[in-house]
Amino acid sequence: MMHRAKPTAVSKAGLPPHTEPICRSWVHFRRTTGGGARRASAATIRGGLGLTQSLGDLGATLVAGILWSVFTPAVAFGYAAAWMTASVLTAWWLRPGPST
């Protein structure tokens, strides 16, 4: 006896039902934004964020490398740990307050 696959349900648009809401929202997005205007600005923002993060990473790597070479690896790790601690404390301090 041969096993047959169940037929897949198809929506009015000819797509599987689980993809229809995504497609409808994409069509709405394209109609309301005039194409890709909003998408291009979001890509620019993401690119700027990536550039900022990469420059920060480069600077931190250079400083840690110099500390590692001139002093000891423990000094370089201490430098990195100090920045991580400062980052966690700053994120905690800047966290959103309770909603009123």
In a domain, 73, yes or no: yes
What pLDDT shows up at residue 39? 58
Q: Nearest-CA neighbor of 13 among 26, 4, 1?
A: 26
* Digit-coded pLDDT (tens) for 41-95: 767 778 888 888 899 899 999 999 999 999 999 999 999 999 999 999 999 998 8
What pLDDT shows up at residue 97? 78
Would you say the pTM of this structure is higher than 0.85?
no
What pLDDT shows up at residue 74? 97
Residue-number span of the structural domain to which 51 is assigned: 17-93
DSSP for 30-88?
Answer: HHHHTSSHHHHHHHHHHHHHHHHHHHHHHHHHHHHHHHHHHS-HHHHHHHHHHHHHHHH
What pLDDT shows up at residue 46? 80
In a domain, 81, yes or no: yes
In a domain, 8, yes or no: no
In a domain, 4, yes or no: no
DSSP single-letter state for residue 15: S
Q: Are 15 and 23 in contact (CB under 8 A)?
A: yes
